[in-house]
Structure 1
Amino acid sequence: MRNKIIRTIVFDAMFIAIIAIMAFVPNIGLITVSPLISFTLLHIPVLIGAALFGWKRGLIYGIAFGLLTLIQAATQPRGAFDPLFINPLISVLPRALFGLVAGFSFELLRKMPRLYQKGLFIAATSLVMTLFHTFLVITSIWLVYKADVLRILQIQDTQSFHWINFIGLLAIVFGALIEAGIAAVITPAIAVPIYHKYPFLLNKKEQNNETRP
Protein backbone atom coordinates (compact mmCIF):
# COMPACT_ATOMS: atom_id res chain seq x y z
CA MET A 1 0.00 0.00 0.00
CA ARG A 2 2.81 2.37 0.90
CA ASN A 3 4.57 1.67 -2.40
CA LYS A 4 1.34 2.40 -4.24
CA ILE A 5 0.97 5.79 -2.51
CA ILE A 6 4.59 6.74 -3.18
CA ARG A 7 4.27 5.68 -6.80
CA THR A 8 1.10 7.76 -7.20
CA ILE A 9 2.77 10.84 -5.69
CA VAL A 10 5.78 10.43 -7.98
CA PHE A 11 3.63 10.13 -11.10
CA ASP A 12 1.46 13.09 -10.04
CA ALA A 13 4.52 15.26 -9.45
CA MET A 14 6.00 14.21 -12.78
CA PHE A 15 2.88 14.91 -14.82
CA ILE A 16 2.16 18.25 -13.15
CA ALA A 17 5.81 19.29 -13.59
CA ILE A 18 5.60 18.44 -17.30
CA ILE A 19 2.42 20.49 -17.66
CA ALA A 20 4.07 23.41 -15.82
CA ILE A 21 7.16 23.34 -18.03
CA MET A 22 5.03 23.19 -21.15
CA ALA A 23 2.88 26.07 -19.90
CA PHE A 24 5.65 28.50 -19.00
CA VAL A 25 8.36 27.76 -21.56
CA PRO A 26 7.33 29.71 -24.69
CA ASN A 27 6.16 27.74 -27.71
CA ILE A 28 6.46 24.30 -26.13
CA GLY A 29 2.97 23.72 -24.74
CA LEU A 30 1.33 26.99 -25.76
CA ILE A 31 2.34 27.84 -29.30
CA THR A 32 1.53 31.40 -30.36
CA VAL A 33 1.29 31.86 -34.13
CA SER A 34 -0.08 35.41 -33.98
CA PRO A 35 -1.78 37.62 -31.37
CA LEU A 36 -5.10 36.06 -32.39
CA ILE A 37 -4.07 32.48 -33.17
CA SER A 38 -2.43 29.95 -30.86
CA PHE A 39 -2.30 26.20 -30.35
CA THR A 40 -1.92 24.13 -27.21
CA LEU A 41 -0.30 20.78 -26.52
CA LEU A 42 -0.88 20.97 -22.76
CA HIS A 43 -3.84 18.64 -23.05
CA ILE A 44 -1.57 15.76 -24.08
CA PRO A 45 -0.10 15.03 -20.60
CA VAL A 46 -3.67 15.11 -19.29
CA LEU A 47 -4.71 12.54 -21.89
CA ILE A 48 -1.72 10.31 -21.10
CA GLY A 49 -2.42 10.51 -17.37
CA ALA A 50 -6.11 9.79 -17.91
CA ALA A 51 -5.24 6.86 -20.17
CA LEU A 52 -2.94 5.33 -17.56
CA PHE A 53 -4.71 6.11 -14.29
CA GLY A 54 -8.37 6.83 -15.05
CA TRP A 55 -10.79 9.61 -14.21
CA LYS A 56 -9.34 10.70 -10.85
CA ARG A 57 -5.91 11.49 -12.30
CA GLY A 58 -7.55 12.88 -15.41
CA LEU A 59 -9.50 15.30 -13.24
CA ILE A 60 -6.43 16.28 -11.19
CA TYR A 61 -4.24 16.82 -14.24
CA GLY A 62 -7.06 18.69 -15.96
CA ILE A 63 -7.35 21.05 -12.99
CA ALA A 64 -3.56 21.49 -12.99
CA PHE A 65 -3.71 22.26 -16.71
CA GLY A 66 -6.36 24.90 -16.07
CA LEU A 67 -4.69 26.51 -13.06
CA LEU A 68 -1.30 26.70 -14.76
CA THR A 69 -2.77 28.30 -17.88
CA LEU A 70 -4.59 30.76 -15.64
CA ILE A 71 -1.30 31.71 -13.96
CA GLN A 72 0.44 31.89 -17.33
CA ALA A 73 -2.27 34.16 -18.73
CA ALA A 74 -2.00 36.42 -15.68
CA THR A 75 1.79 36.62 -15.56
CA GLN A 76 2.99 35.95 -19.12
CA PRO A 77 0.20 36.90 -21.56
CA ARG A 78 1.20 36.16 -25.13
CA GLY A 79 -1.97 36.65 -27.14
CA ALA A 80 -4.95 38.97 -27.39
CA PHE A 81 -7.25 36.41 -25.77
CA ASP A 82 -4.98 35.52 -22.84
CA PRO A 83 -6.66 38.00 -20.43
CA LEU A 84 -9.89 36.03 -20.83
CA PHE A 85 -8.19 32.95 -19.37
CA ILE A 86 -7.67 34.67 -16.03
CA ASN A 87 -11.30 33.73 -15.41
CA PRO A 88 -11.45 30.17 -13.95
CA LEU A 89 -14.68 29.59 -15.89
CA ILE A 90 -12.58 29.76 -19.05
CA SER A 91 -9.24 28.31 -17.97
CA VAL A 92 -10.03 25.79 -15.23
CA LEU A 93 -13.61 24.51 -15.51
CA PRO A 94 -13.44 23.30 -19.15
CA ARG A 95 -10.05 21.64 -18.56
CA ALA A 96 -11.29 19.90 -15.39
CA LEU A 97 -14.33 18.60 -17.26
CA PHE A 98 -12.12 17.56 -20.17
CA GLY A 99 -9.80 15.55 -17.89
CA LEU A 100 -12.75 13.95 -16.12
CA VAL A 101 -14.52 12.86 -19.31
CA ALA A 102 -11.24 11.69 -20.86
CA GLY A 103 -10.55 9.58 -17.78
CA PHE A 104 -13.97 7.94 -17.89
CA SER A 105 -13.59 7.34 -21.64
CA PHE A 106 -10.25 5.60 -21.19
CA GLU A 107 -11.59 3.58 -18.24
CA LEU A 108 -14.38 2.34 -20.47
CA LEU A 109 -11.81 1.38 -23.08
CA ARG A 110 -9.67 -0.36 -20.43
CA LYS A 111 -12.51 -2.80 -19.81
CA MET A 112 -11.53 -4.24 -23.19
CA PRO A 113 -7.78 -4.94 -22.61
CA ARG A 114 -7.13 -6.31 -26.08
CA LEU A 115 -8.45 -3.14 -27.65
CA TYR A 116 -6.75 -0.94 -25.08
CA GLN A 117 -3.32 -2.37 -25.86
CA LYS A 118 -3.79 -1.38 -29.49
CA GLY A 119 -2.65 2.18 -29.95
CA LEU A 120 -5.30 2.79 -32.61
CA PHE A 121 -8.11 2.89 -30.07
CA ILE A 122 -6.21 5.13 -27.68
CA ALA A 123 -5.39 7.38 -30.63
CA ALA A 124 -9.05 7.60 -31.63
CA THR A 125 -10.12 8.42 -28.08
CA SER A 126 -7.39 11.05 -27.78
CA LEU A 127 -8.49 12.64 -31.04
CA VAL A 128 -12.14 12.84 -29.96
CA MET A 129 -11.25 14.13 -26.50
CA THR A 130 -9.03 16.85 -27.97
CA LEU A 131 -11.89 18.07 -30.14
CA PHE A 132 -14.12 17.92 -27.06
CA HIS A 133 -11.61 20.09 -25.17
CA THR A 134 -11.59 22.67 -27.97
CA PHE A 135 -15.39 22.72 -28.00
CA LEU A 136 -15.56 23.28 -24.24
CA VAL A 137 -13.06 26.14 -24.23
CA ILE A 138 -14.45 27.94 -27.29
CA THR A 139 -18.02 27.59 -26.03
CA SER A 140 -17.06 28.92 -22.59
CA ILE A 141 -15.30 31.93 -24.10
CA TRP A 142 -18.26 32.73 -26.35
CA LEU A 143 -20.84 32.38 -23.56
CA VAL A 144 -18.92 34.46 -21.03
CA TYR A 145 -17.00 36.93 -23.18
CA LYS A 146 -18.90 37.33 -26.45
CA ALA A 147 -18.76 41.15 -26.30
CA ASP A 148 -15.04 41.10 -25.48
CA VAL A 149 -14.31 38.73 -28.36
CA LEU A 150 -16.11 41.02 -30.79
CA ARG A 151 -14.19 43.98 -29.38
CA ILE A 152 -10.83 42.21 -29.70
CA LEU A 153 -11.65 41.31 -33.29
CA GLN A 154 -12.82 44.91 -33.86
CA ILE A 155 -16.07 43.82 -35.46
CA GLN A 156 -18.37 46.81 -35.96
CA ASP A 157 -20.82 45.83 -38.70
CA THR A 158 -22.81 42.78 -39.74
CA GLN A 159 -20.84 42.11 -42.92
CA SER A 160 -17.54 42.11 -41.03
CA PHE A 161 -19.08 39.91 -38.37
CA HIS A 162 -20.06 37.21 -40.86
CA TRP A 163 -16.73 37.37 -42.70
CA ILE A 164 -14.55 37.23 -39.59
CA ASN A 165 -16.89 34.65 -38.10
CA PHE A 166 -16.20 32.41 -41.11
CA ILE A 167 -12.43 32.97 -41.00
CA GLY A 168 -12.40 32.43 -37.25
CA LEU A 169 -14.34 29.20 -37.60
CA LEU A 170 -11.86 27.92 -40.18
CA ALA A 171 -8.93 28.84 -37.90
CA ILE A 172 -10.55 27.08 -34.93
CA VAL A 173 -11.29 23.93 -36.95
CA PHE A 174 -7.80 23.88 -38.46
CA GLY A 175 -6.15 24.39 -35.07
CA ALA A 176 -8.35 21.78 -33.40
CA LEU A 177 -7.51 19.22 -36.08
CA ILE A 178 -3.78 19.87 -35.67
CA GLU A 179 -4.02 19.52 -31.88
CA ALA A 180 -6.14 16.38 -32.24
CA GLY A 181 -3.77 14.83 -34.77
CA ILE A 182 -0.72 15.43 -32.58
CA ALA A 183 -2.52 14.05 -29.52
CA ALA A 184 -3.61 10.98 -31.49
CA VAL A 185 0.04 10.24 -32.30
CA ILE A 186 1.78 11.13 -29.02
CA THR A 187 -0.71 9.75 -26.47
CA PRO A 188 -0.62 6.08 -27.59
CA ALA A 189 3.10 6.33 -28.37
CA ILE A 190 3.73 7.05 -24.67
CA ALA A 191 0.81 5.36 -22.90
CA VAL A 192 1.04 1.94 -24.59
CA PRO A 193 4.75 1.30 -23.79
CA ILE A 194 4.17 2.40 -20.18
CA TYR A 195 1.20 0.04 -20.01
CA HIS A 196 3.35 -2.89 -21.16
CA LYS A 197 6.24 -2.00 -18.84
CA TYR A 198 4.08 -1.26 -15.77
CA PRO A 199 0.86 -3.30 -16.22
CA PHE A 200 0.01 -2.90 -12.53
CA LEU A 201 -0.93 0.71 -13.32
CA LEU A 202 -4.05 -0.59 -15.05
CA ASN A 203 -4.63 -4.07 -13.66
CA LYS A 204 -6.09 -3.85 -10.16
CA LYS A 205 -5.53 -7.54 -9.45
CA GLU A 206 -1.86 -7.32 -10.30
CA GLN A 207 -1.63 -4.11 -8.31
CA ASN A 208 -3.17 -5.72 -5.24
CA ASN A 209 -0.89 -8.76 -5.51
CA GLU A 210 2.13 -6.52 -5.80
CA THR A 211 1.30 -4.70 -2.56
CA ARG A 212 0.86 -7.89 -0.53
CA PRO A 213 3.84 -8.93 1.66
Structure 2
Amino acid sequence: MGIFGALIILQAYIPMVGYIRIFPAWPAISTIHLTVILGGVLLGIPGGAGLGLLWGVISLIKAYTSATDPMTLLLFQNPVIAIVPRVMVGIVAAAVFNLIAPKVKTGLGATVKLVAAGILGALTNTGLVIVFTWIFFASRATQVVAGADSANLGLLLMAAFGINAIAEAAMAGIVTPILGRVLLAVQARRR
Protein backbone atom coordinates (compact mmCIF):
# COMPACT_ATOMS: atom_id res chain seq x y z
CA MET A 1 0.00 0.00 0.00
CA GLY A 2 2.84 2.38 0.88
CA ILE A 3 4.67 1.78 -2.39
CA PHE A 4 1.55 2.36 -4.46
CA GLY A 5 0.73 5.46 -2.40
CA ALA A 6 4.22 6.86 -2.94
CA LEU A 7 3.90 6.20 -6.69
CA ILE A 8 0.60 8.11 -6.80
CA ILE A 9 2.16 11.10 -5.02
CA LEU A 10 5.12 11.09 -7.42
CA GLN A 11 2.87 10.74 -10.45
CA ALA A 12 0.68 13.62 -9.28
CA TYR A 13 3.51 16.08 -8.75
CA ILE A 14 6.11 15.23 -11.43
CA PRO A 15 5.14 17.01 -14.66
CA MET A 16 4.10 14.79 -17.58
CA VAL A 17 4.20 11.60 -15.49
CA GLY A 18 0.80 11.30 -13.81
CA TYR A 19 -0.99 13.80 -16.02
CA ILE A 20 0.03 14.03 -19.66
CA ARG A 21 -1.00 17.35 -21.16
CA ILE A 22 -1.32 17.29 -24.94
CA PHE A 23 -3.22 20.56 -25.46
CA PRO A 24 -2.79 23.53 -23.08
CA ALA A 25 -6.50 24.23 -22.37
CA TRP A 26 -7.59 20.58 -22.54
CA PRO A 27 -7.87 18.30 -19.49
CA ALA A 28 -4.76 16.18 -19.08
CA ILE A 29 -4.76 12.44 -19.78
CA SER A 30 -4.12 10.64 -16.51
CA THR A 31 -1.79 7.71 -15.88
CA ILE A 32 -2.49 7.65 -12.13
CA HIS A 33 -5.52 5.44 -12.70
CA LEU A 34 -3.10 2.65 -13.70
CA THR A 35 -1.54 2.67 -10.22
CA VAL A 36 -4.95 2.68 -8.53
CA ILE A 37 -6.18 -0.16 -10.77
CA LEU A 38 -3.10 -2.29 -10.12
CA GLY A 39 -3.37 -1.55 -6.41
CA GLY A 40 -7.00 -2.67 -6.44
CA VAL A 41 -6.09 -5.88 -8.26
CA LEU A 42 -3.28 -6.75 -5.83
CA LEU A 43 -4.68 -5.35 -2.57
CA GLY A 44 -8.39 -5.95 -3.00
CA ILE A 45 -11.30 -3.58 -2.52
CA PRO A 46 -10.02 -1.85 0.66
CA GLY A 47 -6.59 -1.25 -0.88
CA GLY A 48 -8.04 -0.03 -4.17
CA ALA A 49 -10.47 2.28 -2.37
CA GLY A 50 -7.67 3.67 -0.19
CA LEU A 51 -5.43 4.37 -3.16
CA GLY A 52 -8.35 5.95 -5.02
CA LEU A 53 -9.02 8.12 -1.97
CA LEU A 54 -5.40 9.29 -1.95
CA TRP A 55 -5.64 10.16 -5.66
CA GLY A 56 -8.93 11.99 -5.10
CA VAL A 57 -7.60 14.05 -2.20
CA ILE A 58 -4.52 14.97 -4.25
CA SER A 59 -6.81 15.98 -7.15
CA LEU A 60 -8.78 18.21 -4.80
CA ILE A 61 -5.62 19.80 -3.37
CA LYS A 62 -4.13 20.36 -6.83
CA ALA A 63 -7.38 21.97 -8.03
CA TYR A 64 -7.01 24.57 -5.29
CA THR A 65 -3.25 25.02 -5.44
CA SER A 66 -2.08 24.39 -9.00
CA ALA A 67 -4.94 23.91 -11.49
CA THR A 68 -3.50 23.90 -15.00
CA ASP A 69 -6.68 24.25 -17.05
CA PRO A 70 -10.10 25.87 -16.55
CA MET A 71 -11.94 22.53 -16.44
CA THR A 72 -9.77 21.26 -13.57
CA LEU A 73 -10.20 24.53 -11.71
CA LEU A 74 -13.98 24.43 -12.06
CA LEU A 75 -14.75 20.74 -11.59
CA PHE A 76 -12.18 19.31 -9.22
CA GLN A 77 -12.64 21.93 -6.52
CA ASN A 78 -15.86 20.02 -5.81
CA PRO A 79 -14.92 17.23 -3.35
CA VAL A 80 -17.53 14.83 -4.76
CA ILE A 81 -16.24 15.18 -8.33
CA ALA A 82 -12.59 15.05 -7.20
CA ILE A 83 -12.81 12.11 -4.80
CA VAL A 84 -15.74 9.73 -5.44
CA PRO A 85 -14.81 8.73 -9.04
CA ARG A 86 -11.21 8.05 -7.99
CA VAL A 87 -12.28 5.86 -5.06
CA MET A 88 -14.62 3.96 -7.37
CA VAL A 89 -11.74 3.25 -9.81
CA GLY A 90 -10.00 1.17 -7.13
CA ILE A 91 -13.23 -0.52 -6.02
CA VAL A 92 -14.35 -1.43 -9.55
CA ALA A 93 -10.93 -2.74 -10.61
CA ALA A 94 -10.59 -4.79 -7.42
CA ALA A 95 -14.13 -6.17 -7.71
CA VAL A 96 -13.76 -7.13 -11.37
CA PHE A 97 -10.47 -8.93 -10.81
CA ASN A 98 -11.02 -10.45 -7.37
CA LEU A 99 -14.74 -11.30 -7.37
CA ILE A 100 -15.15 -12.70 -10.90
CA ALA A 101 -13.70 -16.22 -10.95
CA PRO A 102 -11.66 -15.54 -7.77
CA LYS A 103 -9.46 -18.63 -8.09
CA VAL A 104 -8.21 -17.64 -11.56
CA LYS A 105 -4.97 -15.73 -10.91
CA THR A 106 -2.78 -16.99 -13.77
CA GLY A 107 -2.95 -17.75 -17.46
CA LEU A 108 -5.35 -16.48 -20.07
CA GLY A 109 -8.19 -16.13 -17.56
CA ALA A 110 -6.12 -13.76 -15.42
CA THR A 111 -5.12 -11.76 -18.47
CA VAL A 112 -8.76 -11.34 -19.51
CA LYS A 113 -9.68 -10.29 -15.97
CA LEU A 114 -6.79 -7.80 -15.88
CA VAL A 115 -7.84 -6.27 -19.21
CA ALA A 116 -11.44 -5.98 -17.98
CA ALA A 117 -10.36 -4.52 -14.62
CA GLY A 118 -8.19 -1.95 -16.40
CA ILE A 119 -10.75 -0.83 -18.95
CA LEU A 120 -13.69 -0.76 -16.53
CA GLY A 121 -11.63 1.02 -13.87
CA ALA A 122 -10.59 3.73 -16.32
CA LEU A 123 -14.10 4.18 -17.71
CA THR A 124 -15.50 4.37 -14.16
CA ASN A 125 -13.45 7.49 -13.46
CA THR A 126 -14.46 9.33 -16.63
CA GLY A 127 -18.08 8.21 -16.46
CA LEU A 128 -18.55 9.31 -12.87
CA VAL A 129 -16.82 12.65 -13.48
CA ILE A 130 -19.31 13.29 -16.30
CA VAL A 131 -22.32 12.17 -14.21
CA PHE A 132 -21.36 14.24 -11.16
CA THR A 133 -20.54 17.26 -13.31
CA TRP A 134 -23.96 17.03 -14.90
CA ILE A 135 -25.63 16.68 -11.48
CA PHE A 136 -23.82 19.66 -9.97
CA PHE A 137 -23.67 21.95 -13.00
CA ALA A 138 -26.76 21.18 -15.15
CA SER A 139 -28.55 24.30 -13.89
CA ARG A 140 -25.55 26.48 -14.81
CA ALA A 141 -24.23 24.53 -17.77
CA THR A 142 -22.69 27.51 -19.54
CA GLN A 143 -20.12 27.73 -16.73
CA VAL A 144 -18.77 24.35 -17.79
CA VAL A 145 -19.09 24.45 -21.58
CA ALA A 146 -19.87 27.53 -23.66
CA GLY A 147 -23.21 27.16 -25.43
CA ALA A 148 -24.36 24.32 -23.17
CA ASP A 149 -27.71 24.03 -21.46
CA SER A 150 -29.06 21.53 -18.96
CA ALA A 151 -30.36 19.28 -21.74
CA ASN A 152 -27.15 18.90 -23.73
CA LEU A 153 -24.47 19.26 -21.01
CA GLY A 154 -24.02 15.49 -20.63
CA LEU A 155 -23.49 15.01 -24.36
CA LEU A 156 -21.04 17.90 -24.55
CA LEU A 157 -19.09 16.53 -21.57
CA MET A 158 -18.95 13.09 -23.19
CA ALA A 159 -17.56 14.67 -26.34
CA ALA A 160 -15.07 16.77 -24.37
CA PHE A 161 -13.86 13.88 -22.23
CA GLY A 162 -14.23 11.26 -24.98
CA ILE A 163 -10.64 11.51 -26.15
CA ASN A 164 -9.40 11.18 -22.59
CA ALA A 165 -11.73 8.24 -21.89
CA ILE A 166 -10.57 6.33 -24.96
CA ALA A 167 -6.88 7.02 -24.31
CA GLU A 168 -7.09 6.14 -20.61
CA ALA A 169 -9.15 2.98 -21.18
CA ALA A 170 -6.84 1.79 -23.98
CA MET A 171 -3.79 2.48 -21.85
CA ALA A 172 -5.31 0.60 -18.91
CA GLY A 173 -6.35 -2.31 -21.12
CA ILE A 174 -2.76 -2.71 -22.33
CA VAL A 175 -0.66 -1.79 -19.27
CA THR A 176 -2.75 -3.48 -16.57
CA PRO A 177 -2.25 -7.05 -17.89
CA ILE A 178 1.43 -6.47 -18.66
CA LEU A 179 2.32 -5.16 -15.20
CA GLY A 180 -0.43 -7.04 -13.40
CA ARG A 181 0.76 -10.50 -14.45
CA VAL A 182 4.29 -9.73 -13.24
CA LEU A 183 3.09 -8.25 -9.95
CA LEU A 184 0.69 -11.16 -9.35
CA ALA A 185 3.52 -13.64 -9.93
CA VAL A 186 5.73 -11.79 -7.43
CA GLN A 187 2.87 -11.64 -4.95
CA ALA A 188 2.22 -15.40 -5.35
CA ARG A 189 5.91 -16.22 -4.70
CA ARG A 190 5.91 -14.17 -1.49
CA ARG A 191 3.00 -16.16 -0.02
Give the TM-score category using the shorter length.
0.7 to 0.9
Q: Which amino acid aligns with 2:81?
A: I
Judged with a 3 Å threshold, the aligned counterparts in structure 2 of structure 1 residues 151 and 62 are, in CA distance, closer, same or farther, namely same
CA distance in structure 2 between the partners assigned to 1:156 and 1:51 by the alignment: 38
CA distance in 1, matches of 2:13, 2:141: 24
Between structure 1 and structure 2, the one with the greater Rg is 1
Aligned pairs for 1:127-138 within 5 A: 127-138=119-130
Q: Which moved more, 1:49-58 or 1:124-133?
A: 124-133
Query: What residue is the counterpart of 1:185 in the other structure?
Result: 174
Contact kept in structure 1, 2:94 and 2:117, CA below 8 Å: no
Task: Look up the match of 1:34.
Answer: 24
C-alpha distance in 1, partners of 2:178/2:166? 18
Question: Compared with structure 1, are the counterparts of its residues 41 and 67 closer, same or farther at alpha carbon in structure 2 (3 Å cutoff)?
Answer: same
Aligned length: 188
How far does residue 169 in structure 1 lie from its aligned partner after superposition? 3.1
Deviation (angstroms), 1:172: 2.1
- Letter of the structure 1 residue corresponding to residue 70 of structure 2: A
8 Å contact kept, 2:27–2:72: no
- Which amino acid in 1 is paired with 2:3? M
Q: Is the 8 A contact 2:56 2:84 kept in 1?
A: yes
Against the structure 1 CA distance between its residues 148 and 116, is the aligned structure 2 distance closer, same or farther, given a 3 Å change threshold?
A: farther
Q: Which residue of the partner structure matches residue 122 of structure 1?
A: 114
Change (3 A) 1:153 1:189: same
Which residue pairs with 1:45 in the alignment? 35
Q: 1:183 to 1:154 in 2, by over 3 A?
A: same
Checking the alignment, whether the CA contact within 8 Å between 1:67 and 1:92 is kept in structure 2 is yes
The amino acid across from 2:82 in the alignment is S
Q: CA deviation at 1:157?
A: 7.9
Aligned to 1:71: 61
Q: TM-score, normalised by structure 1?
A: 0.77
Tell me, which stretches of 5 or more residues in structure 1 are unaligned? 1-11, 202-206, 208-213
Are 1:46 and 1:58, in contact at CA under 8 Å, matched by a contact in 2? Answer: yes
> Sequence identity, in percent?
25
The aligned amino acid for 1:99 is: G
Which amino acid is 1:185 matched to?
A: I
* Equivalent position to 2:97, from 99, 106, 110: 106
- String of CA shifts for 1:160-203, please: whole Å, max 9, x gaps: x96x97665334222211100111111111111121122067xx
Deviations 1:137-159 (A, max 9, x none): 1111111123555224332789x
Correspondence 1:62-211 to 2 at 5 A: 62-83=52-73, 84-109=75-100, 110-114=102-106, 118-147=110-139, 149-155=141-147, 168-199=157-188, 207=191
TM-score, normalization by structure 2: 0.85
